[in-house]
Amino acid sequence: MDFFLQEDQRIFQATFRKFAEREIAPLVEEAEETETFPLQIFPQMGKLGYLCPRYSEKYGGAGIDKVSEVLMREEISRVSQGIASTWSAHSHLGTFPVYHWGSEEQKQKYLVPAIRGEKIFAFGLTEPNAGSDVKAIETTARQEGNFYVLNGRKIFITNGNICDFLTLVAYTDRGRGYKGISLFLVEKGTPRFIVSRKLKKEGVRSSETAELLFEDCRIPKENRIGEEGSFYRVMETLNEGRIGVAGNCVGMAHGAYEAALRYAQERVQFGRPIAHFQAIAFKLADMAMEIDASRLLTLRAAWLMDQGKNPVKEASMAKLFASEVAVRVSREAMQIHGGYGQMREFPVGRFHRDALVYVVGEGTSEIQRQIIAKQMKI
């Protein structure tokens, strides 16, 4: 692996960093306080190619590689993981199955406006009784003539209450076990597709999350993505997503570290900046080291994917390590801030709340360890 970024990757990272600091950062405080996503940012990002950037230019995407996407994720999460979470559910989870396995008609109808930022996607997988155990989902899609009839409930769905399109995971044939899981597109406004409630969260507050109900909800047969039996496509979507989420976690850790370093250099106690005390300096050194290690793990997994590999183990390692580093670093950042770490005028509390989401979300730490052990043939 080449440890030096390509010139186009460095330029892309620097350009997007400026955009995040100039256009996204000013929106964060209000978005967090009101627990609402600033919808106006999506059309703006769409015009610049910052939505669904991995997809082909044929559909309006930027066609960037996975390494560049990871760099982009780090920059957006360094500013706001709440906004990054909504971006991720739209730019990867919801749209990934459509881009890779959808028909050309589906791509034109659903994917193209999503890339432009005109429509918002969500991904409907998690249920009250099915989180880490994907095979345990209970939502069904029963075929009746030229329609599928959906019944079930989804929980913790990012963008669920603001989405125009939902990529839904449901059983078409329980008798086939997990091989009977399929993917569907459901449009906002479809009768009996119900947003039952918006959920209030401790972390990623500016990313809207909802519970969804389907009660004999009829959708056209043409809304199925690919053929019936798409379990492995669901898992491929999640696996590539883990690498991206690892990049988000590096960004959260980086943001918390920068805030802590800045504060430690400015805060004076006992006649000198607290950064000059060994207890604080060692904390900062450990934080910097762990962030660098998590970044390298994440870039390795992204690089392997760019080489056409299927880095299941490496993706889980990156997600596991980076998410736990984000928790540790943001916790130490709060400690360095002392009492001010509890004040909302400082960002470190937000970074910590958001980091805690990702040792559970997108696959718990326990599940990541299970995947790694399985890949090691244990």
Catalytic residue IDs: 362
The continuous run of DSSP H or E covering 61 comes out as: none
Enumerate residues 6+ apart whose C-beta is below 8 A from 117: 42, 43, 44, 45, 46, 47, 51
Query: How many Å separate Cα 360 from the centre of its chain?
Result: 12
Cβ contact 363:316 at 8 Å:
yes
Amino acid letter, residue 340: Y
Dihedrals φ, ψ of 150, to 5°?
-95, 140
The size of the chain, in residues, is 378
Cα dist from 165 to 126, 160, 257, 364, whole Å: 17, 9, 37, 26
3-state DSSP call for residue 102? coil
Kindly state the tokens that stand for 108.
Answer: 């034109």
Kindly state the tokens that stand for 210.
Answer: 């909802």
Kindly state the tokens that stand for 367.
Answer: 């599940």
What is the 8-class DSSP label of residue 268? E
